[in-house]
Amino acid sequence: MNYDGSRDLYDRALSVMPGGVNSSVRATQPYPFFVQKGDGGHVIDADGNRYIDFVMGYGPLLLGHDLPESVQSAVQRRASEGPMYGAPTEVEVELAEFLARHVPSVEMVRFVNSGTEATVSAVRLARGYTGRDKIVIMEGSYHGAQESTLVEGKRDETAPSSPGIPESFAEHTVTVPFNDEDAAREVFEEHGEDIAAVLTEPILGNHGIVHPVEGYHETLRELTAEHGALLIFDEVITGFRVGGLQCAQGTFGVEPDITTFGKIVGGGFPVGAIGGKSEIIEQFTPAGDVFQSGTFSGHPVTMAAGLETLRYAAENDVYEHVNRLGEELRSGIADILEDQAPNYTVVGTDSMFKVIFTREGAFGDGHCEGGCTQNPSCPRYEHCPKNGADVDRAETERWERLFWPAMKEQGVFLTPNQFESQFVSAAHTEADIEEALEAYKEAL
Ligand code: PMP
């Protein structure tokens, strides 16, 4: 493949944007490919190379790059009627009603402009509502570029993970390993009176993919309720992807107090949302006194794109399609691993998937059979990753040096970080899955 066009653009970008990009993960080496346009389940780069796209914008593009007519016309109409007003519009109400109708724990919603803004506001809301400062998060988790969760370290020995964040911010953040019920209990025994909330993804999509073990979320639900703390599910990735319209919380049957959304809810445009019971969400200004505000929040173009995307998913067999292709991909990869790389593991559920490069013995002595490593009825369930530390044993260097470039060279665009989920969209076809499996066979 020829990448001259991308290389030239990267050179220009490096002199006007830090690292040549506007989001760090995009700066793949030796240089990223610059995208010219999307086409169904594919993207085409600046040099005309075509890739099957399993990054899908890091999750927002449930429908792929060809938006259905209803989404396109709603977006174009909104854009042509003056893009935004600084006054409320009907479409915000409609999207909020849609979320409240489908997501079990949601009665009210505040829209914002990114997943980060959603988690920042959710943490402030939990602190304001409870009058407490401490937030419990999972080791290795990612909740956006926000001060309270950019921490490293264990339990209450945490420090900021980036320069520019005062040490005092990390003092209020406690980490526990995902799926470790005892650690959560101990933290509540020690700090129960001071904990405002436990914040977790229902399925770790940024550091895995890791599923909750049976009963884990129920334990978090009980512990938080017992100690007067809130449970926040960060469904920025899993929202309207895992479990369809009821989201991951519907699948697990556990209702958080607050849910953060992003990605799919904006139909490919910048979005975030904080949802939950009215009693809590109404603490936001102007109904309550926890300050929250935004020039672009509830942007009509975004709201229209999100609403029409979710309506389309509700009225068509979108989830059936993406989940079936996801399963075909996971079980096809599992077969290839069995033959060629038995130390590696395929993880994921619904339309999320990833191959984790574990060393022999890291999760046991091999990968799971049956396409999904994290189904409790699977005979190899005990070997699958249970927390961030398990996946940290993966051969990330090998993934980045050999595997990711090998897949890209074969025209398959994957998330370059070993730990970030990849996604199947409604625009992907059986032929895309077959082609991708051929590429996996070759690369592995
Ligand atoms: N929470 C989770 C679980 C995420 O995966 C992300 C981003 N991938 C965020 C929050 C932050 O969202 P954004 O990048 O839209 O700010």
Give residue ranges with CB within 6 A of ligand 1.
58, 114-116, 119, 142-144, 201, 205-206, 234, 236-237, 262
Confidence grade of residue 304 (pLDDT, cut at 50, 70, 90): very high
Catalytic: 234?
yes
Q: What is the Å distance from ligand 1's center to 359 Cα? A: 28
Atom of ligand 1 nearest to the CA of 263: 15
**What pLDDT shows up at residue 377?**
61
Q: What is the Å distance from ligand 1's center to 111 Cα? A: 15
**What pLDDT shows up at residue 208?**
78
- Assigned CATH for 69-315: 3.40.640.10
Q: What is the Å distance from ligand 1's center to 236 Cα? A: 6
Say how far apart CA 41 and CA 432 lie, in whole Å.
8
How much of the chain, in percent, has pLDDT values that exceed 70? Answer: 94
**What pLDDT shows up at residue 400?**
85
Q: Is the ipTM of this complex over 0.95?
A: yes
Q: Where are the domains of the chain?
A: 4-66+318-443, 69-315
If you take atom 7 of ligand 1, which residue's CA is the nearest one? 144
- 235-284 tens-digit pLDDT: 999 999 999 999 999 999 999 999 999 999 999 999 999 999 999 999 99
**What pLDDT shows up at residue 201?**
97
Atom of ligand 1 nearest to the CA of 119: 10
Catalytic: 263?
yes
pLDDT of 319 strictly over 90: yes
Confidence grade of residue 29 (pLDDT, cut at 50, 70, 90): confident
**What pLDDT shows up at residue 382?**
60
- 363-416 tens-digit pLDDT: 443 444 433 435 566 555 666 677 777 777 788 888 888 888 899 999 999 999
Options 58, 129, 142, 344, the catalytic residue = 142
Which CATH fold topology does 4-66+318-443 show?
Aspartate Aminotransferase, domain 1 (3.90.1150)
Catalytic: 344?
no
Options 53, 216, 263, 386, the catalytic residue = 263
- Closest-CA residue to 264 (of 80, 103, 73): 103
Q: What is the Å distance from ligand 1's center to 143 Cα? A: 5
- 124-158 tens-digit pLDDT: 999 999 999 999 999 989 999 999 999 999 999 99
Average pLDDT, rounded, for the chain: 92
- 34-59 tens-digit pLDDT: 999 999 999 999 999 999 999 999 99
